[in-house]
Amino acid sequence: MLTLSEVVSVSGEQGNFDVQILQHPRYIDVDKCIACGACAEKCPKKVEDEYNFGLNKRKAAYVKYSQAVPLKYAIDPENCIYLTKGKCRACEKICPAGAVNFEDREKEVSLHVGSIVLSTGFEPYDPKAFNGYGYGRFPNVLTSLEFERMLSASGPFGGHVARLSDHKDAKKIAWIQCVGSRDTHEGAQSYCSSVCCTYAIKEAMVAKDHVKGLDAAVFYIDIRTHGKDFERYYNRARERSGVRFIKSRISSIREVGDSGDLLIWYTDEQGKRVEETFDLVVLSVGLCANQDSMALAGNLGVDLDHYGYPVSSSFEPVKTSQPGIYVCGAYQGPKDIPSSVMDASATAGVAGSLLAPARGKLTRTKDVPLETNVKGTAPKIGVFVCNCGTNIAGTVNVPEVAEYARHLPYVAYVEENLFSCSQDTQDKMAKIIQEQGLTRVVVAACTPRTHEPLFQETLTNAGLNKYLFEMANIRNQCSWVHATEPERATEKAKDLVRMAVVKAAQLEPLYQQDLGVNKAALVIGGGVAGLTAAKNLSDQGYTAYLVERENVLGGGARNLFRTWKGENVRDHLDRLVREVEKAERVELFLNAEIKQVDGFVGNFKTTVNVAGEERIIEHGVAILATGAEEYRPTEHLYGKDDRVVTGLELDRLLLEEHPRLKAVKSAAFLQCVGCRNEERPYCSKVCCTHSIVNALELKKTRPEMDVYVIYRDLRTYGLREDLYRQAREAGILFLRYNYEKGLDVDAGDAGLRLHFTDTVLNRKVEVSADLLVLAAAIVPPEENTLAQLFKVPINDDRFYVEAHVKLKPVDFATDGVFVCGLAHAPKSLDESVAQAQAAAARAVTVLSKAQLRVGGVVSHINPLLCTGCKVCVTVCPYKAIQLNDKGKAEVNEALCKGCGLCVSSCRSGAPELKGFTDGEVFGQIEAAL
């Protein structure tokens, strides 16, 4: 990992690049720095903190933010008094580790690599480029990123929402959308930045949690909550949290005298002129291509579009124009975190297929000390209490908690750490465990949900069984929830540490078992996502069994005409199908249906019915790419009048160049048919773009045709906004209707008539059309037997639920099973391809292992107490428990997730959860009381 570094030059070609990197001096030795902060404390020079957008000051000796990786200090050469004036050196004198090194110089680093990934991010739009909002002149006008830092518990305001002018509590806040996006002002971008609507809603809801009775208003052009579950979030903000949404484009803001109040004029949806004052105004700034990234891409010979983003195709979304160079994240185009994470995994998958012949050649084996035998010895507990910067120490008296821990039974060593999760602290902890001969470890810090594996690895590196570890969550459960009660938070922290120590004293070593891995993957679904995943796995050197229930490959993409980028879908799809059919390691099963799934990660056995014959496929992982379908409308005369068609049916007419289209003199596209309603409260994401692509095609075929798009919120997110602008320039009319007042369609000999209330005119209008195209929703199947067979969840909308919406968007909680494409959520073809490549990359993280480790914190059932009642079998959500041939329950440790449901449900007390035994749990309860 090379920080403070930049790429100077790249030479060579795909599979054989030479990269020259310039690493700038840090002036602090990372191997010596212990991140104590003494240098920053004594540094006399204060400068604006760029990470917090100048909302506070930092020192010239600084760490950029509290969770920086690596957590090492640096000296700012442009502001350091010694480096600029030759005086001071206070940091060097105070540093207890002797880490300050003013002799540090630039270093040149040469790398030889096979592929390159551009993941250089974005830069936020600077509102000073357009002065109508008073940003930089009015102190109470903030950007959305500045407001994020205000909301953050670790930020300069500690989460307190206040005006910058007088630091009074803010009671009324406005969010202005599309600042620097969907705009043709100088410096702005005409595309949609894709994330701003959702993040504004999040900020408004979090702010309302922080400030009781807060009046939050969001001024918008179109609400674009097109991501998975984003529409539900919008509905919750509007209906439950009381966030006001006002459709109005704000052009300017005025400050009221010297009060700091901000006046906004707008016209509401009834056409009334309204004036409102606000305490704060938050500008939802857009995402722009990074200027340095554009220069780097230009030097690499990567083709860029007119916005400065790398050009790619829908069927190869992470590939640039230069072979071996890939792109992901917000530098591919404006996008949210889940999409960025998917793209990152996709680049890993595509690069992995390129580098597959070299896999394993640079592998290094980690040396782990032999495990210390603690059986028969008295507990010797080490307690490490974390300050977490000010995240914990700002509320909890950490020295007092540490001193309290020194007097607890079996505690042999206590230490405070600034950041216990930093690498240097981890190394130090491992050394202390060995030197002090500790046999148990307690860390009082953050949530074990995110940090427990990290500390368990530290124990392993120290030669201690990783399960001889317990955490006390004094951040979430103390400093965060009792931020205004430091004394009570400190006492509670002591209680939690005492409970953790009592449990730690009773912990016993637990062990995992090694299982072999079947080096094959089962891919279910022969659409674009499934085909892409199977091809990528084959390219990476693994066998892929591709199962499709129909007798042809291609799925729903067979009905698509063009992508939003204008590519011919049929040509690309035919090529992809041919490549998969010829792939050396892909075995196809058409007319096939999954009947039974047994086993677990690394060792699945799936029974497949292929044209009436059963086959058993053994595989290590599974990828669910089962797709979704177009909603079959029951409204708007669909099925009763052949002049009413769905979007996909129009695609087929265009593909066939059907003669009936030549007779169409006027066409209307009706959006959100079958979704964004009570039954399906989600946005199908692709419909607005799809309608505009086809509307433009109709206009191109017959320019004199009248074309209307009737919509609720036009959602041409990201770079798709260009299509919206192109459509308006082509004469396509966009009419926003009042959904609450309904829309009726009736038929006559002269054509179809649509009746609705136009929100701009605020009156009933009628549109006549020869052709009505319903933008029908994307819907998953009514019944999903695969979810039960693979033990994976589906949500209320019947789409699959990933393990974590942001961090694991293609994984399931069930290990070894992954998801991609429309089965996960509505998405465009290029996004489905990227997610399929990501799923393949994630699958390879399992397939590439020689062995998997299972067990540890799992249930064990005492056969002497088991009555065979099957209650545990019934309640186990992972199907990890079955009755053996003696009628006793047994746990499959490879499937058990240690949830403890069997323990709490059994009336006989037969199950016991390792690491959470009755003695350990009751010991904690007694310690708490």
How high is the mean pLDDT of the chain? 94
Helix, strand, coil percentages in the chain from 3-state DSSP, rounded to 5: 30, 25, 45
pLDDT tens for residues 110-123? 999 999 999 999 99
* pLDDT on residue 65: 87
Give the bridge partners for 330, in sequence order: none
- What the block records as the tokens of 906 is 């059994």
Q: List Cα–Cα distances, 694 to 561, 572, 593, 642, in angstroms.
A: 9, 19, 35, 18
For the cut 80, the answer to whether the pLDDT of residue 275 exceeds it is yes
CB atoms within 10 A of CB 850: 8
Which residue's entry shows tokens 């006008």? 141
Average pLDDT over residues 895-923: 94
Average pLDDT over residues 574-601: 96
For the cut 80, the answer to whether the pLDDT of residue 447 exceeds it is yes
Q: How far apart are CA 411 and CA 742, in angstroms?
A: 70
Average pLDDT over residues 785-801: 95
For the cut 90, the answer to whether the pLDDT of residue 878 exceeds it is no
Q: How far apart are CA 128 and CA 401, in angstroms?
A: 47
CB-based burial, 262-284: b 16+ in 10 Å, e otherwise: bebebeeeeeeeeeeebbbbbbb
For the cut 80, the answer to whether the pLDDT of residue 423 exceeds it is no
More confident residue, 484 or 80: 80
Average pLDDT over residues 730-735: 97
Q: Where are the alpha helices (DSSP H) in 791-863?
A: 829-847
Which residue's entry shows tokens 């968007």? 809
Average pLDDT over residues 528-538: 98
- What the block records as the tokens of 348 is 């890993």
What confidence category does residue 513 fall into, taking pLDDT thresholds of 50, 70 and 90?
Answer: confident
- What the block records as the tokens of 304 is 């860029």
What confidence category does residue 913 fall into, taking pLDDT thresholds of 50, 70 and 90?
Answer: very high
CB 402 within 8 A of CB 416: yes
CB-based burial, 105-131: b 16+ in 10 Å, e otherwise: eeeeeeeebebbbbbbebebbebeebe
pLDDT tens for residues 34-79? 777 889 999 999 999 999 999 999 999 999 987 788 888 999 999 9
Q: What is the 3-state secondary structure (H, E, C) of 53-96?
A: CCCCEEECEECCCCCCCCCCCEECCCCCHHHHHCCCCHHHHHCC
Q: List Cα–Cα distances, 307 to 297, 303, 318, 337, 719, in angstroms.
A: 13, 11, 17, 21, 9
* pLDDT on residue 877: 86
Q: How far apart are CA 222 and CA 580, in angstroms?
A: 41
* pLDDT on residue 69: 84
* pLDDT on residue 774: 98
What confidence category does residue 767 fall into, taking pLDDT thresholds of 50, 70 and 90?
Answer: very high
Average pLDDT over residues 782-786: 94
What confidence category does residue 542 fall into, taking pLDDT thresholds of 50, 70 and 90?
Answer: very high
* pLDDT on residue 560: 96
pTM score, two decimals?
A: 0.89
As a whole-number percent, the residues of the chain with pLDDT over 70 amount to 100
As a whole-number percent, the residues of the chain with pLDDT over 90 amount to 86
* pLDDT on residue 442: 97
Within 13 Å of residue 432, how many CA atoms lie on the same side as its CB?
A: 20
Within 13 Å of residue 182, how many CA atoms lie on the same side as its CB?
A: 28
Single-letter residue type at 417: N
Q: How far apart are CA 60 and CA 50, in angstroms?
A: 12
More confident residue, 390 or 870: 870
- Helix, coil or strand: residue 718: helix
- What the block records as the tokens of 430 is 């491992």
For the cut 80, the answer to whether the pLDDT of residue 130 exceeds it is no
Query: What's the distance, CA 840 to chain centroid?
Result: 18
pLDDT tens for residues 170-224? 999 999 999 999 998 877 899 999 999 999 999 999 999 999 999 999 999 999 9
